[in-house]
Amino acid sequence: DIQMTQSPSSLSASVGDRVTITCRASQSISSYLNWYQQKPGKAPKLLIYAASSLQSGVPSRFSGSGSGTDFTLTISSLQPEDFATYYCQQSYSTFFTFGPGTKVDIK
Amino acid sequence: EVQLVESGGGLVQPGGSLRLSCAASGFTFSSYEMNWVRQAPGKGLEWVSYISSSGSTIYYADSVKGRFTISRDNAKNSLYLQMNSLRAEDTAVYYCARSGYSYGTTYNWFDPWGQGTLVTVSS
């Protein structure tokens, strides 16, 4: 199975900060990488698919990059509603796997 | 509006069984692959099972293989997860999620997700 790791596991940031989250796959997954946002008590929400494509309706301050094994999710200017946990997911293999998550909280 | 609504969760004893349902609306259910994903309390997301649009192709995570069965009824716009031989470690919120594809490519993702249903395995 393909293993996914994320770093950091948590971070504290202020409104307006630029935030970068890293995701790494245990083998090359081309661009088969998705990012989700989850707020407490809510279902995950798709932000980015195919490594860098922004899901419809998602603010443009979110962006994704990378291919192969290393990927990043960037929030260009953190907003109050962005405090949440972010998960990467590989869809290269049908045995889909998620990263362990990165919790973004208020500094 | 595209919507997925899970039901069937609850408290069950270890070794017991439970059947989850996911009712789909707002899209042509029979055209989409579907998935179950779970989240133990305070933990991350774990993919559980996948089923193709026709139901002919099915995959399971190793953690549930042989105990859980995914199925669908396209006439009823419904997805199911039959869970047998339940263990304490199966305690989680279970989400159903639709697979989406980028036109002309094989890139795929999960969107939307249902609100989830809580399964608690405890004596």
pLDDT tens digit sequence for B14-64: 999 999 999 999 999 999 999 999 999 999 999 999 999 999 999 999 999
Q: What is the pLDDT of residue B118?
A: 98
Phi, psi (rounded to 5 degrees) for A22: -110, 140
Q: Cα–Cα–Cα angle for B22, B18, B27, nearest 5°?
A: 5
Backbone torsion region of residue B56, taken as left when φ is above 0, otherwise alpha when ψ lies between -120 and 50, otherwise beta: alpha
Best of B102, B111, B117, B118 to disrupt the A interface by mutation (most A CBs within 10 Å)? Answer: B111
Q: Are B59 and A95 in contact (CB under 8 A)?
A: yes
Q: What is the pLDDT of residue B104?
A: 82
User: pLDDT at residue B102 above 90?
Assistant: no
User: Is residue A96 within 8 angstroms of chain B, CB to CB?
Assistant: yes
Contacts of B42 (CB under 8 A, 6+ apart): none
Identify the band that residue A107 occupies on the pLDDT scale cut at 50, 70 and 90. Answer: confident
Flag if A49 and B116 touch (Cβ within 8 Å).
no
Which candidate, A33, A58, A63, places its Cα nearest to that of A45?
Answer: A58
Percent of chain A, pLDDT > 70?
100
Identify the band that residue B79 occupies on the pLDDT scale cut at 50, 70 and 90. Answer: very high
Q: What is the pLDDT of residue B81?
A: 98
